[in-house]
A and B are shown apart, each in its own frame.
Chain A
Amino acid sequence: MKYDKTWGNRLFDWINYSLLLIIALLCVLPFVYVLAVSFTSPQEVVKGGIILFPKQWSLTAYEYIFSTNTLWRSMLVSIYITVVGTFINLLMTSLMAYPLAKQTLRGRGPILLGVLFTMLFSGGLIPTYFVVKELHLTNTLWSLMIPSAISAFNLIVLKNFFQQIPDGLEDSAKIDGCNDVGVLFRIVLPLSMPAMATFSLFYAVAHWNQFFNAILYINDNTKWPIQVLLREIVILAQSRIGDTSMDDVEIQPLTIRMAVIVFATLPILVVYPFLQKHFAKGVMLGSVKG
């Protein structure tokens, strides 16, 4: 569609492009600011002002957080739950989605209904907490992976995706003596790599970003993921200023807090280009009904 090059249209475009540019910058500048401050010397930060590029480079903040083992430990915990947790998610979701994609399977309807119902109604925080506790998962990293093993929404979307795969391929594999498990792993999953990439990215981001389950289920602070550590250092320390009853929280210098934010965000920004390639597809997958 083209517009006449009238003054009105040009002005419109000019304003529109500028506004969009401003909005886009507003979305990324806070990250740039945090990154810049984390690399600036503490003396310069105290002087105040807006820093979008460090004038005096300094690695003090990073030297400090590398010297404590808290950050390393939390990073390792987060990496562990992200890798293992995502693997569990993918395995459990695809194992369940594949049979449900077979329209001839007896009992398929009631099972799907049972899954859908969990999207509408849940036992709530307290009863779920007791289930996890009774299974002796509390204070283990399993409590961050097992209770969220399958997302009902992703399951339904993956089931719909599997349904679109033509049956011919699967049938020929079966004639060659493959059972259904073999068909899933040797034929269906390799054909679904784009969908699996999308799901693994969504699951992995969710694992990396989770903090509330850790607060709920894990008391032992050596098992805290990075997000919980970040909350402790950045948010709790800040909101307790002026609350004299809480003097147990140590308030870290600004640059150190910034550096921890960088660590909690970095992996997301690193995978973002891959995410971007796939998420639009993922959102569209969600719109397929069946």
Chain B
Amino acid sequence: MKVKLAHSAAVKAEAASSARGRRRESGLLRSVLRDKWLYAMLLPGIIYFIVFKYVPMYGILMAFQDYKPHLGIWGSEWVGIKHFDRFFSEPQFLRLFRNTILLAVYNIVFFFPLPIVLALMLNEVRRERFKRFVQTLVYIPHFVSWVVVVGIFYMLLTTENGVLNELIYRMTGNKIAFLLDPDWFRTMIVSQSIWKEVGWGTIIFLAALSGVDMQLYEASRIDGAGRWRQMWHITLPGIRSTIIILLILRLGNFLDSGFEHIFLMLAPTNRDVGDVFDTYVYVKGLTQMQYGYSAAVGLFKSIVGLTLVLGANWLAKRFGQEGVY
């Protein structure tokens, strides 16, 4: 009975809305005319997004083609999933997969906790001026380019006259080829990321920390809790949701291992450990001109990436967060 009622209500609503629909048409015209300047302002932006974002998405079709630039998408020969077959059976595939995953895992294990620790340390500082002084200095590396960061690391670590190698040489009598030795590659990538971004990463945690209720600290002090217990039982639980959502977001961008950064650090000696999906696309596509094949690799990466982002967002919502998209 209830179902029937609901059904008839829906029918009525539909009839009413179709009657309104006719009126809405003239309303649409009127509102478009009213907002004509707004639409004119939208136009350049819409053209930008179509040309530079959506046309390339259409261009992905070349992943299924033997793409020749002079023939274009319309003229090139269709080859189905040949490129994907080749990619998955190539021994390179496992190497790229391993390198990408390892860098991502190292970044999460070694990089991710550090901004939290630094934010907690800053939060314990009572002298505002000292706190601001430290903040000012630790944010600086975020703003310089990866070229400068890698360049400075090169200058500090090179085996000819690099300061750190000089120090190591004086202490141990040996020099370490940080920059050429493939064993050091991942350490270098992670430590450069830490140096550049750790300070900047504290901002969001500091904002979360400032939202923790001060009364909780007062109450716990009366109960006799010391600083460590307060940190453990009040501060950390207070920013737990921020930590979780950022971790989830980081997982969503799992495959984005920092292309520009890795690209700069790659040298003929460390390709075995340094090549990731993005650098492979660049080499195959733009230096070896295998356009269709590299577009296919790029598409594979984009789809896995999209799945991860959506999955992470779903997870975030399950944790009671708002989600990002």
A95 to B39, CA, bound (A): 10
Partner of B134, one of A24, A106, A243: A24
Residues of chain B within 8 A of A272, CB atoms compared: 140, 143
- Chain B residues with CB under 8 Å of A104's CB are 31, 35
Contacts of A234 in B (CB 8 A): 147, 151, 154-155
Q: Take A16-B121, A118-B49 as given contacts and tell me if A24 and B156 are in contact as well, using a CB distance cutoff of 8 Å.
A: no
Chain B residues, Cβ within 8 Å of A9: 227
Asked whether, in the complex, the Cβ of A264 is within 8 Å of the Cβ of B154, the reply is no
* Interface pair B56/A123, CB less than 8 Å apart: yes
Cα–Cα distance between A213 and B45 once the two chains are bound (Å): 21
Across the interface, B57 reaches (CB within 8 A) one of A23, A26, A99, A122, namely A122
B144 touches A265 (CB 8 A): yes
Given contact pairs A99-B39, A121-B306, A127 touches B56 in the complex (Cβ within 8 A)? yes
Residue B51, interface by CB 8 Å: yes
Query: Number of contacting residues on A, CB 8 A?
Result: 104
User: In whole angstroms, what is the CA distance A98 to B35 when docked?
Assistant: 12
Tell me whether B95 is interfacial, beta carbon within 8 Å.
no
Q: Which of A8, A25, A98, A284 contacts B41 (CB 8 A)?
A: A98
Measured in the bound complex, the distance between the Cα atoms of B134 and A239 in whole Å is 34
Bound together, the chains give a CA A249 to CA B180 distance in angstroms of: 17
Contacting pair B57 A121 (CB below 8 A): yes
Docked-complex contact A243 and B263, CB < 8 angstroms: no
Q: Say yes or no: B138 contacts A27, CB within 8 Å.
A: yes
Say if the beta carbon of A172 comes within 8 Å of chain B. Answer: no
B295 engages A124 (CB within 8 Å): yes
- Cβ of B109 within 8 Å of any chain A Cβ, yes or no, is no
Is B268 part of the contact surface with A, judged by Cβ < 8 Å? yes
Contact across chains for B38 and A21 when beta carbons are under 8 A apart: no
Closest 7 CB pairs of A and B: A123-B56, A96-B45, A127-B59, A124-B298, A209-B145, A239-B267, A180-B37
Using A23-B118, A49-B163, A126-B295 as known contacts, list a sample of 16 further A-B pairs with CB atoms less than 8 Å apart, ordered by residue number in A.
A8-B226, A17-B130, A23-B138, A33-B163, A92-B45, A120-B306, A123-B56, A123-B59, A124-B60, A125-B285, A146-B52, A211-B145, A238-B154, A239-B269, A264-B145, A276-B136
